[in-house]
Amino acid sequence: MPDLLEKIIDHMFAAFTFDLGRYLIAAGLISLIIWRARKWSEARRIQTRRAGFKDYKREVLSSLRTVLVFGLTTISTVLMVEAGWISIPEGPINWPILIIQLLAMIVAHDAYFYWMHRGLHLKAMFRFSHLHHHKSRTPTPWAAYSFSSFEAMSEAAFVPAYLLMASVLGAPTYGFAIFLFLAHMILRNAIGHAGVEFFPAGWTRGPLNWITTTTHHDLHHSEGNTNFGLYFTWWDRMMGTEHPHYEERFNAVAKPIRAPVSVAANASIASLSMLIIVTSPFIAG
């Protein structure tokens, strides 16, 4: 029992520092790009409204609470590992298998998020579970973790549930695959709440148009009853919940920008765009 308690304490400390770190890095990076490339970002701003100081304060403070809830919720992972229900492979990594595991987690999480998100929008659930997140009518990158405690718990439940299912099916997931999944999740989350369109013009007419853009999620915050998907548009299209003017709204802000920006800003934008484009085919699964 003392060993288990020590593992739980170690997990709480590691979970808190890791989740806080990835939140600060992702939200900070996206905010820095928006600020540094002001001409570019202003031309691609999705809403005319702007978040105020109270919005930033609420988003950051509730995100700190979310980090704590994530740590508490995922104690279940420690307990299931100790019970032998969840296995984390050790030793050399089989890279093709790791890529498959990463894709499987991303696709499964997208499905989980869509239906969980639809559930949180039910009248019986919305006010006490999801209203807090929608107080960010004009979201910022700092809204990425701005959840009520119940929603934070629902979000965090995916990883232990997925790892348990994978272990039961005889396909335990590498720790590094979990790390990459979590890094991808927070980066896409921060981009989705950026309030500035990061994806290139023509994206919704291209071969990767099933990958959600910033406008896709921004429309969910500004209007509320469409675009429930996280990474992909698949579920929204299948279930008829995609905003009818999504492509039109995207095209209005994702136009080519020729205004000169600094070399540093160009490098930041190019690096992020390259990351999105390079990783997108792997996300497909």
pLDDT tens string 209-239 = 999 999 999 999 999 899 999 999 999 999 9
pLDDT attached to residue 6:
85
Residue 73 has pLDDT above 50, yes or no: yes
pLDDT attached to residue 8:
84
Summarised one tens digit per residue, pLDDT across range 249-265 is 999 999 776 654 454 45
pLDDT attached to residue 265:
52
Report the percentage of the chain scoring pLDDT > 70: 89
- The CA distance from 161 to 117, in Å, is 17
- The CA distance from 157 to 201, in Å, is 36
Residue 62 has pLDDT above 50, yes or no: yes
Summarised one tens digit per residue, pLDDT across range 2-51 is 688 888 888 888 888 999 999 999 999 999 999 999 999 999 999 999 99
pLDDT attached to residue 257:
64
Residue, of 135 and 9, whose pLDDT is higher: 135
Q: What per-residue string of b and e applies to 177-190 under the rule 16 or more CB within 10 Å gives b?
A: bbebbeebbbbbbb
Percent of residues in the chain assigned helix, strand, coil, to nearest 5: 70, 0, 30
Q: pTM, whole model, 2 decimals? A: 0.88
Domain ranges of the chain: 2-283
Q: Band the pLDDT of 280: cuts 50, 70, 90.
A: very low
Residue 269 has pLDDT above 70, yes or no: no
- The CA distance from 230 to 67, in Å, is 20
